Structure formats: structure tokens, C-alpha cells
Amino acid sequence: MQITSKGQVTIPQAVRNRLGLLPHTEVEFEVSGDHARIRKARRAESLGLRGQKALRALRGSADTRMSTGEIMALTRGSRGAGANGK
């Protein structure tokens, strides 16, 4: 495995799966002597970042005009329910 000219390296799929490293997961490096350790960033440091990034990526991407009541009816599985849910 080689480091690219941009300093990037691909983490093998098996390692990503084992550590739960999904796209946009924050990681941290710990250097000790002549080796480095990579791990998921501590929860307190990355709390909510993944959700915030997902919302930022999706913001403004809706392409349908639905009322809040219609959206709520869809998420609740109600068919033909109006805005008041009756």
C-alpha cells in the first residue's frame, strides 16, 4: 500500500467494516515512536457532526411540494389522512 502524492491512503474494506468507519466518519491519529494508530474520533469530539454533514448535503434537494401534514401522513403510514390526521 502506498501513500499518494496528496498524503492519502486507502483503508482496507475489512478494517473499515470492523471499526465501523463509514464515509464522513471523523478519525484521529495517535503517534507513538515510529508507528501511528488510527481510530474513530472520540464521541464527545464528533457528537452530531455526521448528522449535521448529512443535513447540509441534503438541504435544498427536495423536488416535490408537499404540506407538513402530507409528509407526516407518509412517515406514519397513514393513507388518505389529511393535515389533522383524521
% of residues, the chain, pLDDT over 90: 31
Q: Evaluate if residue 31 carries a pLDDT over 50.
A: yes
Residue 29 bridge partners (DSSP): 38
Strand 27-32 relative to strand 35-40: parallel, antiparallel, unpaired? antiparallel
The CA dihedral of 44, 45, 46, 49, to the nearest 10 degrees, is 110
* SS3 label, residue 39: strand
Cα angle value 26/27/29 (rounded, 5°): 155
Is the pTM higher than 0.85? The answer reads: no
The 10s digit of each residue's pLDDT in 51-81 is 778 888 888 887 778 888 888 888 888 665 4
